[in-house]
C-alpha cells in the first residue's frame, strides 16, 4: 500500500537552505535526475560512484531544504522533485537581481510559435 508523499521540511520562506542545497553538484545532479519523475533511493544511488550513505545524506539535505519530497512504497522510499519550491526560490531571487532578464525571457518564450524549439 502506498503512503502519501511527505511534505517538504523547510519553511517556504527559508530560501537560504535551498541555495545551500543547490551549492553541491551531486545534489544538483539528483534534482536533474528527478526531473523525469520519482525515483527510488536505490535507483538514485546507482547513478553515482559515491556510497549509498553519502547519497542518503544528500537526499536528506534536499528534503530538509524542501526541494524533494519522499513517500514510502512498501520497503522503498521514492523521491520526487518539489518543482514549485525550487521555482519559487530561484525565481524570486532572479526577479530581484535581474528583473529585466526575467521579463525578456518570458516574452521570448511566449512569442515563439508552438512547436518552435528555438
What is the pLDDT at residue 111?
47
What is the pLDDT at residue 91?
84
Grid cell in block for residue 49: 560512484
Residue 82 per-residue DSSP state: -
Q: At 21, is the secondary structure helix, strand, or coil?
A: helix
What is the pLDDT at residue 12?
45
**Residue 26 Cα distances to 4, 65, 68, 91, angstroms:** 26, 15, 14, 21
Positions of the chain with pLDDT lower than 70, given as ranges: 1-13, 101-118
Of 88, 100, 77, residue with least CA distance to 18: 88
What burial letters (b/e) apply to 31-61, b meaning 16+ CB within 10 Å? bebbeeebbebeebbeeeeeeeeebeebbeb
pLDDT digits (tens, 9 = 90+) for 13-45: 578 899 999 999 999 999 999 999 999 999 999
What global pTM score does this model have? 0.73
Amino acid at each position: 500500500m502506498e503512503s502519501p508523499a511527505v511534505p517538504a521540511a523547510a519553511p517556504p520562506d527559508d530560501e537560504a537552505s535551498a541555495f545551500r542545497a543547490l551549492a553541491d553538484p551531486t545534489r544538483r545532479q539528483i534534482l536533474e535526475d528527478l526531473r523525469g519523475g520519482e525515483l527510488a533511493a536505490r535507483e538514485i544511488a546507482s547513478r553515482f560512484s559515491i556510497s549509498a550513505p553519502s547519497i542518503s545524506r544528500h537526499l536528506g539535505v534536499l528534503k530538509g531544504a524542501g526541494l524533494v519530497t519522499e513517500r514510502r512504497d512498501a520497503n522503498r522510499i521514492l523521491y520526487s522533485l518539489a518543482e514549485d519550491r525550487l521555482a519559487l526560490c530561484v525565481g524570486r531571487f532572479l526577479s530581484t537581481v535581474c528583473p529585466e532578464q526575467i521579463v525578456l525571457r518570458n516574452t521570448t518564450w511566449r512569442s515563439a510559435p508552438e512547436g518552435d524549439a528555438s
